[in-house]
Amino acid sequence: MSTWKKSWLHVAFTLSALLLFAGHVCAEPPRTRKDLLLRVEEALNTHNPQALEALYYWDEVKPEVRDLHREMFKTLADTRVESVEFAPLTPDYETDIVEDGVHYTVNIPIKGLISIQVFDDVVDQRGTITIPYGQVGIFLYLAGIRYDDEGAATSKYHYFTINVQTLLFPSPVEFKGIYSYEKDGEQFKKKFKGGGFYKDNIEADRLLACIVKKEDEGGWVKLTIKKNGTTVFDTRETDAGKPIIYKDEP
């Protein structure tokens, strides 16, 4: 049996973004932590996206944000919820991300996290999902996501996104890599490694090169590179032992 864990960076953002526009559940938002927890658990156990959507605070959340990563809810709906409980908010917990030059952040002050333990019977895998929550007035809400893209329009740099994906089941395929970029006439390099997935965002004049290689014999690896939101390099899922190489052509 394998185990996985996803933080807000991978789940709460996508979960709050993916819920479809639907009729609102005409219930007063929860006032207590106990009520919030019970209603999250009920929404998950009944696979009810409308009930879950009603628990989010949607002010300042742009409509297109809800269109992102809709498949995440389908994946969650196919899993069995084992427990729903509160988790402490640690100092290193991330409440914002930068994606393609756009700054995403939560739209309410975070008071804590809700930890959801799930089990996927199909792949025999257990995992933990964390979702942040906060308070507005006397009510408690799951945090929505807002973003600011004004910086992207005025920045003198390009925004590059490096995304590495590998086979996840029965265990994540390990990989290592290195990329180099040019910024203000200087060149920089960064090494990275991981298993399952890796994502990094770079503000630079040019992304010079990126090399990724599997550490495991089996499984596959895939590399995608975006420039200002547009895909400029995208490999198929490859199980070859040779490294994947991206080079910028001047």
Give me the tens of pLDDT residue by residue for the chain, a chain 250 residues long.
444 454 444 444 444 433 333 333 457 999 999 999 999 999 888 887 778 888 888 888 777 666 554 455 556 666 788 899 999 887 667 777 766 567 778 889 999 999 988 886 766 777 788 889 999 999 999 988 887 765 555 568 888 889 898 876 667 888 999 999 999 999 999 999 988 888 888 889 999 999 999 988 888 899 999 888 788 999 987 777 789 999 998 7
34: enclosing H helix or E strand: helix 33-45
Q: Where do the domains of the chain lie? A: 2-148, 156-247
Which pTM value belongs to this model? 0.55
Amino acid at 222: K
| CATH top class, domain 2-148 | alpha beta
Question: What are the b/e assignments for 31-43, b being 16+ CB within 10 Å?
Answer: eeeeebbebbbeb
Give the C-alpha distances (Å, rounded to integers) separating 69 from 41, 47, 191, 235. Answer: 21, 17, 28, 20
Joined tokens for residue 200: 């990094």
